[in-house]
Each structure stands twice: as structure tokens, then as C-alpha cells.
């Protein structure tokens, strides 16, 4: 099994006695884009601060390359890059902004210029190189911020709502450019967003964070098709939520009864199964669309022993 | 009016005839107030960074003290420093009273609240997340401080100018802890007071003009530094 690039174990963040974030386990694997979605105030930015080594947890461990991070945060920070919702550029030219992280690391001038130029080209802002950062439009500024982050060739790129302040057309083209940049460079990335479409578009895996807790982590298709609970479903925009009563649970299938019909469906997520018993077999279930009543016989499907199916 | 013209003429004469005593006084004023401003900057910028970025509990209370400190009567500051430096005072063994060092300390006490309060206000105008972004870019603590100070250089240099202005224009504390000793602790302001007391209004006026010219030159330099844009 591949060793995770970044990981959280039993992490809690408390502020003035209130738990902001509590994550039992989260891994970010090399080369993947993990999209963390959740409503405002779910603890997404705190999660980024933890992963970026800008904040230490009240309890638990942060792992980098499988090793527990204890101190020397600067050295870890220099292997990563962070893009925030606001571009937060320095009061200088676009060019020196893009080179600023490299300058802080003492990268020699020639090498710096080469990497700055490549990063400017990657985001199509070579023509802005000599412009003052404070004269840029919102989209141009965020491009500069992304170029600044990728010029560092970071081992992990952390993106904290990078598109939230942009208008729709700008957002769409910038998402395309970022997607291409990420796949070309194979950069490991964590994208935090309140926008489900961004997560679906960029994420190899999706994690749903609500009220400071990870409710579900999995492939986008999996998470969107079988949300773990009603809140996750509601956040992901599932429109049809049919209340029902669980009738039986066997061989990887579940069946339940609503007012109108009896439903049968493959149980995909082990978390859903936990919810089953926790809910004492009474729960609100969610479905994106009415499900067919007939499915292949259970015998042809292997039971979900280890979370897959 | 004649007095003003005579004063200007006398000032030019003093400068251009190479009056050794005047040069000595000018040099002492500059170095003493420069050192005091330097001390105020070191203390002020550290405290301002703490107040602006770490948001410690009681920040508003501390800032209200500092803001009041900007109106601290220099004579009070001088008195406190003098009492500390008296031979029987807590710092008496240092034998600093009536030395230029004592004037530096007194002027630093006067300039520090000015520099701290204005710097804290300057740093608080930065985007609250800019510090995180700079750290995330891989800045060490010192690099981060330098970058953030550079971002706020316009209001920060205004704080420096205000601090230097408070230091060099000060006279009450300077005389109290310095003693206005010829060739040792006589500054432009204390010399001016002395000349006025002696009835040499012309010389007093000349020294005042030299002081104004000096203050202008320093502030011109700082203003150029402040207004210089790194990008067109």
C-alpha cells in the first residue's frame, strides 16, 4: 500500500474550550487530489492550517511522509504551498510575487527566473509579469497566486477556497488551468471548497466535513451516489430524500420501506452500515433518484467485507 | 522680522564658517536622537508585531495606554529617567546621569509609545491572513517580519518620522538628564534654550533654523524611502 504524503491521526483542534475540528484519520496519497467539501464554518480552513503546518493540533498527530511532525515546521512548510481565497499578493510586480517563495528559500536567481517564467506561462500571465500586483483584477491576482504556489514545485499544494471570490467565467477557466497544471505536474493536492461542483471536477477523492467532523471519504461517484447520512446528502445537493424504515440488511443489500414502495439497493459504504445499527434500524435514507426495485440476485455480488463491494 | 532674517544669516554663517561648536552640537543631536529612535524602533516594532499579529488578551487596554503615552509630557519622562539614574537610584551604579546615553534613554522613553502605537496601527491595516500567507510561502519568522514591515512601509515610516520628531524636538527631559554640558551633552534644543536665556536671540534663532533644516533633511530622506515604489 502506498505511504500517504500527509496524514492526520486522532487530531483535535480546540479554541476557547470548543472543538473546532476532530478528525480520527485522514490520508492524502501521493499524486492524488483530495477535495474536502463542507458548509461554511465546518472547520475546512482549520484543516488547511493544520496540514500547512501553520497551526498545531490541541491533540493528535500530523504525519508527513509517514513520520510524525514534532517541530521544525518551517522545513515542512518549505515543501508545501498554500493558496488562499484571497490572492494575498505582496506590493511588488507579478514577477517578483511569483518568485517570492523561491527567494525565501534562497533559490539562485537564474533558476528562480526559469521557474518563474514557466509558472507564468502555465497560467497564461507572461504579459502581466512587470505589472504591479495591486493593479490586477481578481482573476489575474488569483492566477498570480496559483503561479506563485506552483513555481515552488511543492510536494503538496493546499488550496483553501481558491475560486470562491471569482465570477463564474473566470472561475471556470481557472479551474481548467489548475486541473491541467495539477495533472501535468502530478502534484499532490488538497482542495478545500464549499462548492460541490469544484470537488467533483478536481477531486480524485472527496471528503465531506460537517461540524468539524469527517462524515464520509471516498471516490466522488461513491460519495455522491451513496451519501453516508442525511446531512451529507443534503449538503451534496441530493434533492430526493425518501424517509423510510429499514426492513432487512443482508449480503451487501439493503432494503427499506417508504410510504409508497419497498426499496432494495446495494449497500456501498461501510459507514452507512454503521449508521444502520447506530440508528437502530430506523433512519432517513437518501437516494438521488428512485431506485429500481429489481436487482441481480444477491448471490452474484460479493459481500462488502472491507468497505468496497 | 529683522530677527528672523538675522537668524537665517547667522545660521548660514555658523554652518559655512565651520564653527566647531555648532558642528559638535548638530552631530550630538543627530546621533542621540537617531539612537533613541533606533531603540524606540526595536522595542516598538516588536511590541507592535505582537499586538497586531498575536492579538494577545488585553490588546485594547495596552493600545489605549500606548496611545495615551504619545501625549506623555517629556518633562515627566525626563524626571522618571533622572530619578532612576540618580546616584542613589536603582540604576545609579551605571553612572549615566549627565551623559549622552542618559539623553538617549530619556528620548527613547518619549519616542517608544509614539513608534509602538503608530506601528501597531500600521500593521493592523494589513490583511489579517497576509502573515499566514507569508509563512506558508516558506518565510522564517524574521523573513516574515521583514516582508510584512515592507508591506506596511508607508505608515511604518510615518511612525519612524513621528518618533524621530518627538526625540529631536524634545528639550525638557534632555536638559534634566543631560544637564546641557558644553561639549558633552549640549544639543540643538538645549543650546537654543540657553541662548534665549542669555538674551542671544539671534544665535537662538540660528540654532532653530539649523534644527529645522536637519529635521527636514532626515524627513526628506525617509519620505523618499517611503514613496519609492518597487513597481511602476
* Residue numbers of B between 8 and 47 with CB closer than 8 Å to A: none
- Which residue in the set B132, B140, B229 is minimally distant from A74, CB to CB? B140
| pLDDT of A181 strictly over 50 | yes
What pLDDT does residue A254 have?
65
pLDDT-based confidence at residue A123 (cuts at 50, 70, 90): very high
Q: Which chain B residues are closer than 8 Å to A91 by Cβ?
A: 150-151, 230-231
What pLDDT does residue A263 have?
58
- CA-based nearest residue to B136, from A107, A300, A78, A252: A78
| pLDDT of A182 strictly over 60 | yes
What pLDDT does residue B106 have?
96
Distance CA B201, CA B4 (A): 10
B136, B144, B155, B229: which to substitute to probe chain A, counting the most A Cβ within 10 Å? Answer: B136
* Closest approach of A74 to chain B, Cα-based (Å): 6
Q: Are A83 and A146 in contact (CB under 8 A)?
A: yes
Angle at A133 between CA A128 and CA A137, to 5 degrees: 75
* pLDDT (mean) for A73-101: 96
Q: Please judge whether A54 and B127 are an interchain contact, meaning their C-beta atoms are less than 8 angstroms apart.
A: no
Distance CA B168, CA B25 (A): 12
Distance CA A133, CA A91 (A): 6
Q: Which chain A residues are closer than 8 Å to B140 by Cβ?
A: 74, 104
What pLDDT does residue B221 have?
93
Give Dmax (Cα) for chain B.
64
- Which residue in the set A49, A84, A92 is minimally distant from B230, CB to CB? A92
SS3 B158: helix
| pLDDT of A301 strictly over 50 | no
What pLDDT does residue A265 have?
56
Distance CA A151, CA A130 (A): 17
- Characterize A48-83 residue by residue with b for buried, 16 or more Cβ atoms within 10 angstroms of its Cβ, and e for exposed: bbbbbbbbebeebebbbeeeebeeebeebbbbbbbb
Q: Is B60 on the interface with A (CB under 8 A)?
A: no
* Closest approach of B224 to chain A, Cα-based (Å): 17
What pLDDT does residue A283 have?
41
* Closest approach of A169 to chain B, Cα-based (Å): 26
What cell does A51 get?
496540514
Q: Is B147 on the interface with A (CB under 8 A)?
A: yes
- Give this prediction's pTM: 0.82
Q: Please judge whether A52 and B136 are an interchain contact, meaning their C-beta atoms are less than 8 angstroms apart.
A: yes
Distance CA A179, CA A157 (A): 12
- CA-based nearest residue to A21, from A53, A49, A54: A49
Give phi and psi for A80, each to the nearest 5: -130, 175
- Which residue in the set A49, A105, A131 is minimally distant from B138, CB to CB? A105
- Which residue in the set A86, A93, A104 is minimally distant from B137, CB to CB? A104
Least confident of A7-16, A117-126, A256-265, B136-145: A256-265
B53, B131, B133: which to substitute to probe chain A, counting the most A Cβ within 10 Å? Answer: B133
Mean pLDDT of chain A: 84
**Distances A109 to A89, A94, A103, A151, B143 between C-alpha atoms, Å:** 20, 16, 8, 13, 18
**Distances A229 to A74, A223, A238 between C-alpha atoms, Å:** 39, 10, 11
Least confident of A12-16, A301-305, B45-49, B63-67: A301-305
- CA-based nearest residue to A243, from A261, A268, A226: A261
CA torsion through residues A280, A282, A288, A290, sign: positive
Residue of A nearest to B137 (CA): A101
> In sequence order, what are the residues at sequence separation of 6 or more whose Cβ sits closer than 8 angstroms to the Cβ of residue A165?
A85, A86, A138, A142
> How does pLDDT run along chain B (232 residues), one tens digit per residue?
788 888 888 888 888 887 788 899 999 999 999 999 999 999 999 999 999 998 899 999 999 999 999 999 999 999 999 999 998 889 988 999 999 999 999 999 999 999 999 999 999 999 999 999 999 999 999 999 999 999 999 999 999 999 999 999 999 999 999 999 998 999 999 999 999 999 999 889 999 999 999 999 999 999 998 888 644 3
What cell does A66 get?
509517514
| pLDDT of A304 strictly over 80 | no
pLDDT-based confidence at residue A308 (cuts at 50, 70, 90): very low
Per-residue pLDDT tens over the stretch B77-95: 999 999 999 988 899 889 9
What pLDDT does residue B198 have?
94
Per-residue pLDDT tens over the stretch A217-271: 999 988 888 888 888 888 887 766 666 676 666 666 666 666 655 655 555 544 4
Distance CA A51, CA A82 (A): 10
What pLDDT does residue B7 have?
87
SS3 A123: coil
- Which residue in the set A84, A91, A148 is minimally distant from B129, CB to CB? A84
Q: Are A216 and A223 in contact (CB under 8 A)?
A: yes
**Angle, to 10 degrees, between the axis of helix A109-122 and the axis of helix A168-185?**
130
What pLDDT does residue A307 have?
38
| pLDDT of A122 strictly over 70 | yes
Give phi and psi for B89, each to the nearest 5: -75, 170
Residue of B nearest to A99 (CA): B137
**Distances A35 to A76, A191, A212 between C-alpha atoms, Å:** 21, 5, 15
* pLDDT (mean) for A110-117: 96
Distance CA A107, CA A99 (A): 9
What pLDDT does residue A231 have?
87
Amino acid at each position: 500500500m502506498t505511504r500517504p504524503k500527509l496524514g492526520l491521526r486522532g487530531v483535535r483542534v480546540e479554541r476557547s474550550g470548543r472543538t473546532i475540528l476532530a478528525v480520527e484519520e485522514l490520508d492524502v496519497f501521493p499524486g492524488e487530489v483530495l477535495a474536502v467539501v463542507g458548509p461554511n464554518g465546518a472547520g475546512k480552513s482549520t484543516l488547511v492550517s493544520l496540514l500547512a503546518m501553520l497551526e498545531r493540533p490541541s491533540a493528535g498527530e500530523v504525519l508527513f511522509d509517514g513520520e510524525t511532525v514534532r517541530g521544525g515546521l518551517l522545513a515542512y512548510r518549505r515543501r508545501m504551498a498554500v493558496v488562499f481565497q484571497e490572492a494575498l499578493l505582496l506590493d511588488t510586480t507579478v514577477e517578483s510575487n511569483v518568485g517570492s517563495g523561491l527567494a525565501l528559500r534562497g533559490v539562485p536567481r537564474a533558476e528562480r527566473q526559469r521557474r518563474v517564467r514557466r509558472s507564468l506561462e502555465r497560467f497564461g500571465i507572461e504579459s502581466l509579469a512587470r505589472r504591479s500586483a495591486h493593479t490586477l483584477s481578481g482573476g489575474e491576482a488569483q492566477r498570480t497566486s496559483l503561479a506563485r504556489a506552483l513555481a515552488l514545485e511543492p510536494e503538496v499544494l493546499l488550496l483553501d477556497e481558491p475560486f470562491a471570490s471569482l465570477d463564474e467565467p473566470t472561475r471556470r477557466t481557472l479551474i481548467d488551468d489548475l486541473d491541467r497544471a495539477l495533472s501535468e505536474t502530478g502534484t499532490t493536492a488538497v482542495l478545500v471548497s464549499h462548492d460541490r461542483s469544484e470537488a467533483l471536477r478536481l477531486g480524485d477523492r472527496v471528503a465531506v466535513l460537517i461540524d468539524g467532523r469527517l462524515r464520509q471519504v471516498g471516490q466522488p461517484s461513491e460519495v455522491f451516489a451513496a451519501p453516508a447520512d442525511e446531512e451529507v446528502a443534503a449538503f451534496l445537493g441530493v434533492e430526493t430524500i425518501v424517509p423510510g424504515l429499514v426492513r432487512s440488511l443482508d449480503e451487501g443489500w439493503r432494503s427499506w420501506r417508504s410510504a409508497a414502495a419497498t426499496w432494495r439497493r446495494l449497500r456501498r459504504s461501510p459507514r452507512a452500515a454503521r449508521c444502520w445499527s447506530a440508528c437502530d434500524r430506523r433512519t432517513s435514507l437518501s437516494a438521488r433518484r428512485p431506485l429500481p426495485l429489481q436487482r441481480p440476485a444477491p448471490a452474484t455480488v460479493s459481500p462488502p467485507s472491507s468497505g468496497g463491494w | 522680522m529683522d530677527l528672523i532674517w538675522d537668524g537665517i544669516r547667522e545660521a548660514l554663517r555658523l554652518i559655512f564658517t565651520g564653527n566647531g561648536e555648532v558642528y559638535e552640537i548638530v552631530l550630538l543631536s543627530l546621533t542621540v536622537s537617531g539612537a533613541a529612535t533606533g531603540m524606540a524602533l526595536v522595542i516598538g516594532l516588536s511590541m507592535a508585531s505582537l499586538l497586531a499579529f498575536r492579538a494577545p488578551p488585553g490588546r485594547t487596554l495596552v493600545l489605549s495606554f500606548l496611545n495615551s503615552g504619545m501625549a506623555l509630557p517629556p518633562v515627566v519622562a525626563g524626571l522618571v529617567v533622572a530619578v532612576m539614574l540618580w546616584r542613589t537610584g536603582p540604576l545609579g551604579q551605571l553612572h549615566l546621569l549627565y551623559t549622552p546615553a542618559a539623553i538617549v534613554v530619556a528620548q527613547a522613553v518619549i519616542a517608544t509609545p509614539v513608534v509602538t502605537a503608530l506601528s501597531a496601527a500600521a500593521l493592523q491595516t494589513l490583511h489579517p491572513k497576509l502573515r499566514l500567507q507569508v509563512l506558508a510561502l516558506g518565510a522564517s519568522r524574521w523573513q516574515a517580519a521583514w516582508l510584512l514591515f515592507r508591506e506596511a512601509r508607508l505608515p511604518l515610516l510615518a511612525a519612524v518620522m513621528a518618533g524621530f520628531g518627538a526625540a529631536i524636538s524634545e528639550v525638557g527631559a534632555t536638559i534634566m538628564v543631560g544637564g546641557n554640558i558644553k561639549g558633552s551633552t549640549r544639543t540643538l534644543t538645549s543650546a537654543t534654550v540657553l541662548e534665549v536665556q542669555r538674551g542671544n536671540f539671534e544665535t537662538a534663532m540660528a540654532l532653530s533654523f539649523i534644527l529645522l533644516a536637519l529635521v527636514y533633511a532626515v524627513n526628506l530622506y525617509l519620505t523618499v524611502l517611503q514613496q519609492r515604489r518597487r513597481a511602476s
